[in-house]
Structure 1
């Protein structure tokens, strides 16, 4: 795997830890945005593939996640998370000036990346959303309806057809294995509405990746969000039988090849 190093900085709600995977002679920068309850270390193989493709990769642990500060999985305002990710972009640009920046977000990271593209898209070369939590997220209403949020932690078997992925996830001490927290769910609800009302990303190229057997973030609900969010140039790749984490699926090589092909098409202009 590619070598990496950590950076720490004062985020909007406490200290943030970010990872950098350097690349000598890099052609572009990737901002990698992880999902709910996890951490950027789960993307080691993604970063490795991208470094081999010519990217230097940066990604933070969000507030309340991984090695960053804050109560676990508590996010009360996703605008603050977007601001933290932008601080990582500033760090990356200072270290690698002049390189194009590609934003990649998975699941809740797709929600963060979508809002990021609306706020900071003028500085990006392209956006990749994987199983993005945008549009209509069907589980949200059921989770928020009762006075107490049901204790239904994420089922690791729904992540991938590769059962080793779920087993590793279940035994990862940096992953949150408890239930959702109401303030985080309410913040997701507000952010979904904000993205829906904030318009398209215009000319910014978009690649949307999704498994058609994704039962964590169902395909149909995300499609609603993509239709509202996408600009003039977009590509979708829907993988038959794939579950939520397409970067960890049995066909992850195909998925990563699709990402690299998309990025090459953007950079070669």
Structure 2
């Protein structure tokens, strides 16, 4: 069970969690995706804890238990700054161990931008189904006079139907429409990342081959723009968007911890 806390963010209080470890080898910072919250990552934290990690994570502004209008983001640079506050909170709790950053989906975009801004303080980066390069099926909504409400097809999350059922019933998940302001901010962030520096740290990219929410070809274009020399990828046949919640999640998490072993050595 995680310890819960809150810290000051750029636009209000950020709610966070810590999964402690008596003798951690490293600090893992989790960065969640659009519309969700960090409470969906209990099993990821458990796997990392068994691997020797202490874990911290926060809900983004307007997400989960954090303050702010729901899923409202004006500038993702503010979200990156909030993640940095979470990282520094974790480092105060667990000093003198290396820090790794693990971001999923929109959180992968945030994590990549964080690595461009603060990569010198990271030992490794993991990007899971990241929104990188472009996300046309979402950013194209900006061309419409009114953004339609199209509920997510939860079957696109995982081949395990229970994942979709739990997602639909989760009161901390945002089940409403996209906000125009967030989409515009996301589009700006993608452009910033595409023109930013390459990632000068060990990086692992994991993605589902059958990801219909964040299509593999668009992410590949973005990854290719920013990947550095120390880079690895794993594309999982038949897997959908949430590879940490997929039917082969044990394989995915083993690939992540194996990568971290190499990066931390």
What TM-score bracket applies, with the shorter chain setting the length?
Answer: over 0.9
2:116 counterpart of 1:118: yes
Q: What pairs up with 1:225-236 in 2 under 5 angstroms?
A: 225-236=222-233
Structure 2 residues without counterparts, runs of 5 or longer:
none
Aligned counterparts of 2:226 and 2:56: Cα–Cα separation in 1: 24
Contact 1:199–1:228 (CA<8 Å) still a contact in 2? no
Alignment: residue pair count: 265
- 41-50 or 89-98, which deviates more: 89-98
Q: What is the alpha-carbon distance in structure 1 between the residues aligned to residue 223 and residue 177 of structure 2?
A: 27
Q: Distance in 2 between matches of 1:74 and 1:23?
A: 34
1:25-75 deviations in whole A, cap 9, x for unaligned? Answer: 000000100000000000000000000110001110000000000010111
Which residue of 87, 93, 104 maps to 2:85?
87
TM-score calculated relative to the size of structure 1: 0.97
Unmatched 5+ residue regions in structure 1? none
**Aligned residue in 2 for 1:214:** 211
Instruction: Give the match for residue 3 of structure 2.
Output: 5
What aligned pairs does 1:19-98 form with structure 2 within 5 A after superposition? 19-98=17-96
Choose from 254, 261, 265 the match for 2:258. 261
- Tell whether the 8 Å contact from 2:139 to 2:184 is kept in structure 1 after alignment: no
Distance 1:244 1:194 in 2: 24
Alignment RMSD: 0.7
In the alignment, the residues of structure 2 paired with residue 123 and residue 62 of structure 1 have an alpha-carbon distance, to the nearest angstrom, of: 21
Q: How does 1:86-235 map to 2 (within 5 A)?
A: 86-202=84-200, 204-235=201-232
- In structure 2, how many angstroms separate the alpha carbons of the residues matched to 1:116 and 1:267? 19
Question: How far apart in 1 are the matches of 2:254 and 2:167?
Answer: 24
Q: Deviations over 1:114-170 (max 9, x none)?
A: 000000000000000000001021203432121111111222111000000000000
1:113 CA displacement? 0.2
Q: What is the CA distance between 1:97 and its match in structure 2?
A: 0.9
Displacement of 1:225 = 0.6
The whole-number CA distance in structure 2 between the counterparts of 1:99 and 1:195 is 28
Moved over 2 A (4+): none
Instruction: State how far apart, in whole Å, the 1-side matches of 2:120 and 2:47 are.
Output: 26
Question: 1:105 & 1:141 partners in 2: Cα distance?
Answer: 20
